[in-house]
Amino acid sequence: MNHTKPFNIPFFALGFRTFFALSGLSALVLLVLWRSIYDGSLILDNYFLNSYWHAHEMLLGYTVAVISGFLLTAVKNWTGQETLTGAGLAGLALLWIYGRILPFYSGLLADEFIALVDFLFLPVLAYCLVKPIKAAQYTRGYVFIALLLIMSFGNGLIHLEILGLAEQSAWIGFQIVIALIIVMILVIAGRVFPFFTEKGLPGTLPIRNPLYDGLAIASAVLVFALNIMQISGIILAIAASLAAIINILRVNNWYVFRIWFVPLLWVLYIGYAWIIIGFILTALSAFDIIQPNLALHAFTMGGIGVITLGMMARVSLGHTGRILKASQAMAIAFALINLAALVRVFIPILLPHWYADIIYASTILWLAAFSLFAYVYAPILTTARIDGKAG
């Protein structure tokens, strides 16, 4: 492997180790900071507006770290080519870290410099991934390169508004980023959910249906495109309802009842269910029956939050040579993060006057889930594989 001795340690042996650790840490730190900022107990100078910072860091901080760790690891498996390790991986991680820290130096550093550092991460990641994809002539991998670059375009729109170079572009940028993350999850789900189900439940044979795969992704793209174009009412409701139905049919081909005995599986399926709930709530919000932010949090805290935690747990075990079985602590963490999403998405409908308390309860549940992840996975991510293999 191409790395220098100071970085020749397990933590920098493969992308999932470094970036899953960073994402787990950021899931705790970012939420603690946000809660303190939200209730007014902490006031910090920030390049971002407070609401923008929260959305940006959970999407382009936490979630992008998970995506980075997954893709740097998966591309190596898919192509048979080496991805970043050692000093190169440490450098990419440092770029991500600077993107999180520099916004708090607004006033000391030029805003343009802060924006550039944050913006560069996704294009640099795409460049690091395109090299092994190109070397192996793995054409399917270019889908992820395209998604990363479009996501970086959305991030650019956010920064353009903050820098005063465009008006009202940040909202579009955030919508593009959310859409691309959900689409990426749907693409990855089609690749790994049937595989994980088959491996986790010997004797099962999940059905892969290319038609449902294509329609599930296309219908999601349509819903998000209508939302970005601010087309609501009956058109959005029909599109979101169709997306929900198509994705239910897709998942039904993989589903077997026995997943409920395997936490590493049911957490992924429930995470997918949150995305479907997001489409259903989008249909309801199109008629102003509920607030659109409830659908948003079904997609983000529910779909993205639950699936990323489940994926990190499963991938980390598999790539460190461990038995693919969640500990009791992680099973509790999976339940807690789902409860956090449940409280955040549905309780405001029933108890709108308790909104501040609902946010607090949801935050505590999220922090409890990721505290368990940090406790269980810190030694897994920082020590060598137990089977003696590289990675």
Q: What is the mean pLDDT of residues 201-212?
A: 91
Distance CA 343, CA 349 (A): 10
Distance in Å from the first CA to the final CA of the chain: 10
Q: What is the pLDDT of residue 314?
A: 97
Mean per-residue pLDDT for 3-13? 80
Contact status, residue 287 vs residue 237, Cβ threshold 8 Å: yes
Q: What is the pLDDT of residue 4?
A: 52
User: What's 109's DSSP letter?
Assistant: B
The predicted structure's pLDDT at residue 355: 86
Instruction: Give the Cα-Cα-Cα angle 227, 57, 159 (nearest 5 degrees).
Output: 70
- State phi, psi for 109 to the nearest 5 degrees: -115, 155
Read off φ and ψ for residue 38, nearest 5 degrees. -60, -40
pLDDT single digits (tens) 27-73: 999 999 998 988 888 888 899 998 899 999 999 999 999 999 999 99
Distance CA 19, CA 96 (A): 9
State the pLDDT at residue 124. 98
pLDDT at 334 over 60: yes
CB 182 within 8 A of CB 149: no
pLDDT, position 1: 46
* Alpha helices, H only, the chain: 15-38, 50-56, 64-79, 86-101, 111-135, 142-162, 170-200, 210-228, 233-252, 263-285, 292-297, 305-318, 328-350, 355-382
Give the model's pLDDT for residue 107: 87
Give pLDDT tens digits for 112-139.
Answer: 999 999 999 999 999 999 999 999 999 9
Rg (the chain; Cα; Å): 20
